[in-house]
Amino acid sequence: MSNLRVAVVGAGVMGRYHANNYAVLRGVDLVAVADPEPQRRAEALSSFDCRAYRSIDELLAAESIDAASVAVPTSLHFAVTKRLLEAGVHVLVEKPVATEVSQAKELAALSKRLGLVLQVGHITRFYRAVQLLGERVRRPYLIEARRMVPYARIKDVGVVLDLMIHDLDIVLRLIDSDPVELSVVGRALNGSPLEDVAAAQITFQGGCIARFLASRVAPDAERSLVVSEPHQTMRLDFAKEPYTEIAIYRRPDATSETGHVQLDRHVVHEENPLRSELEHFLARIRSDAPPIGTLEDDLRSLELATRLLTIIAGERRAVLA
């Protein structure tokens, strides 16, 4: 089988990460990068030995490509992804797929109608520790997620769509029931029109409570997830890249002589989850792998995130039917 011809649209921080990985993957040729900024195009020319274009239209007019990564600002995800799909190109778009649920549904329907792979870049799905969590967790009653950074790299959406959506996606894949009650508060700081910090609590139909804290004005980076079940609590610390530390606390059973909690610690090496994500995208194009997470999963995460944003905008508590 001939190599897949791939382009990267958007040559900022994430776009360069995508291009770096495509440049060394087998079975793929990175043929072009598109970005409106001359400096980024010049860097792409020198770093990746590929062609560079000012716009997606210039790219599509000059190149025949099979697939593309979309790493443009979030507000442009819908327009760029739609243009690529209509040109017959398989697309991996950084999360979220769009800023509005109606746009995401339109892209999902378009990709299905054209028989093209549309994959959303929920990179945490490719963390080995998150996959292990999905295998072991069965009856959570309390989940607490904290995702905080000292600065905002993404400027055109707030912290819910920028950071919290990662944890919303993880939690929705752990809990097999629908949310019935939402409570959230968000605050815009330092003159920003968008929320820079948000705290949410979601109660699910099965009784599980999930709490989320996301900030991009924190003094230090923190990314942790605590999942409590009747017999054990698992704590994941993602902040020590490229490793995830896992602590498992098990309650003593009736036969325990000491009555002490048992603690097991593990360290998981997260060996380039972005590369794993891109390899999976390429395998799906070749029909060599089923999706890890579906477009329906992506829509569910986006729908929940936009509900939280609606509440933040109205500063009210919502009880869902």
| Same-domain pairing of 143 and 267 | yes
Binned at pLDDT 50, 70 and 90, residue 320 comes out as: low
- Report CA 15 to chain centroid distance, whole Å: 15
Domain count of the fold of the chain: 2
What does the pLDDT read at residue 253? 67
What is the rounded average pLDDT of the residues 263-292? 95
Provide the residue range defining the domain that includes 111: 4-121
Distance in angstroms (rounded) separating the CA atoms of residues 264 and 233: 11
Under the banding of pLDDT at 50, 70 and 90, the label for residue 315 is low
Position 136 pLDDT exceeds 80: yes
Q: How far apart are CA 100 and CA 87, in angstroms?
A: 22
Is residue 206 included in any domain, yes or no?
yes
pLDDT for res 255: 55
What CATH number corresponds to the domain at position 58?
Answer: 3.40.50.720
Helices (H), 115-241: 128-136, 159, 165-174
pLDDT of residue 49: 86
Report the sign of the C-alpha dihedral through residues 98, 103, 104, 109, in that order.
Answer: negative
| pLDDT band with cut points at 50, 70 and 90 for residue 268 | very high
Confirm whether 155 is domain-assigned.
Answer: yes
Closest CA to 70 of 23, 113, 34, 37: 34
User: How far is the C-alpha of 100 from the C-alpha of 50, rounded, in Å?
Assistant: 33
Q: Final residue of a domain: which of 60, 95, 121?
A: 121
User: Strand pairing partners for 262?
Assistant: 250
- Whether residue 150 is found in the same domain as residue 253: yes
Q: Are residues 15 and 162 in the same domain?
A: no
- The per-residue pLDDT for 319 is 53
Tell me, yes or no, whether 263 and 152 share the same domain. Answer: yes
pLDDT over threshold 60, residue 272: yes
Question: 260 falls in which pLDDT band (50, 70, 90)?
Answer: confident
Q: Could you tell me if 10 and 117 lie in one domain? A: yes
pTM: 0.92
Q: Mark whether 255 and 160 lie in a shared domain.
A: yes
Question: Does some domain include residue 86?
Answer: yes
In a domain, 214, yes or no: yes
In a domain? residue 33: yes
Kindly state whether residues 108 and 137 are assigned to the same domain.
Answer: no
Q: Above 90 in pLDDT, residue 167?
A: yes
% of the chain surpassing 70 pLDDT: 95
What pLDDT, on the 0 to 100 scale, is given for residue 102?
A: 97
Domain-terminating residue out of 86, 121, 156:
121
- My answer on whether 148 and 228 are in the same domain is yes
Residue 201 forms beta bridges with which residues? 183, 211
User: What is residue 268's three-state secondary structure?
Assistant: strand
Strands 67-70 and 4-9: parallel
Residues 141 and 248 in one domain: yes
For residue 199, give the 3-state DSSP assignment.
strand
Residue 280 inside a domain? The answer is: no
Read off the CATH number of the domain in which 223 is found. Answer: 3.30.360.10
Domain presence at residue 238: yes
Q: Kindly report which listed range (57-66, 116-125, 166-175, 250-259) carries the lowest average pLDDT score.
A: 250-259
| Mean pLDDT confidence for 261-281 | 94
Average pLDDT, the chain: 93
Together in a domain, 116 and 238 = no
221 falls within a domain = yes
- 10 Å Cβ neighbour count for 318? 14
Is residue 187 over pLDDT 90? Answer: yes
Same domain, 310 and 203: yes
Same-domain check for residues 148 and 182: yes
